Amino acid sequence: EDQVTQSPEALRLQEGESSSLNCSYTVSGLRGLFWYRQDPGKGPEFLFTLYSAGEEKEKERLKATLTKKESFLHITAPKPEDSATYLCAVLSGGSYIPTFGRGTSLIVHP
């Protein structure tokens, strides 16, 4: 059974304090790993898709990386508007269904 574990569950940062969120996975045949951002009361917003180890994607202050066992979402010099819950999901084997982690709640203080 596929497992996706995100850590930490919650993270508080000061504005400008860079950090990383972790998504570790145990799957049989990774076909894709996805990162989402979710604001309170809203649906998840797609950020990145990674397909193979060594791949990196960037968008503004966010950079996602992938290894054979985990993915990191690096946040450089975060701002208060980066506060949200960040979700990771994987697609593996022959399934149509992505498996989601429980997310990391990020709060950035001004």
Please give the single-letter amino acid code of residue 64: A
Query: Which one of residues 46, 52, 59, 109 is an interface residue with other proteins (CB under 8 A)?
Result: 46
Q: What is the DSSP letter of 8?
A: -
Cα separation, 30 vs 7, in Å, equals: 20
Q: Does 23 bind other proteins (CB under 8 A)?
A: no
Query: Which one of residues 7, 19, 49, 83 is an interface residue with other proteins (CB under 8 A)?
Result: 49
Instruction: State whether the Cα torsion 20-67-25-30 is positive or negative.
Output: positive
Residues 63-92 contacting other proteins, CB under 8 A: 87, 89, 91
Number of residues that bind other proteins (CB under 8 A): 22
Q: Write down the least CB distance from residue 50 to other proteins, Å.
A: 10
Are 88 and 101 contacting, i.e. CB atoms less than 8 angstroms apart? yes
Please give the single-letter amino acid code of residue 3: Q
Are 33 and 71 contacting, i.e. CB atoms less than 8 angstroms apart? yes
Q: Write down the least CB distance from residue 99 to other proteins, Å.
A: 9
Q: Write down the least CB distance from residue 54 to other proteins, Å.
A: 17
Q: Where along the sequence are the contacts to other proteins (CB under 8 A)? A: 31-32, 34, 36, 41-46, 49, 51, 87, 89, 91, 96-98, 100-103
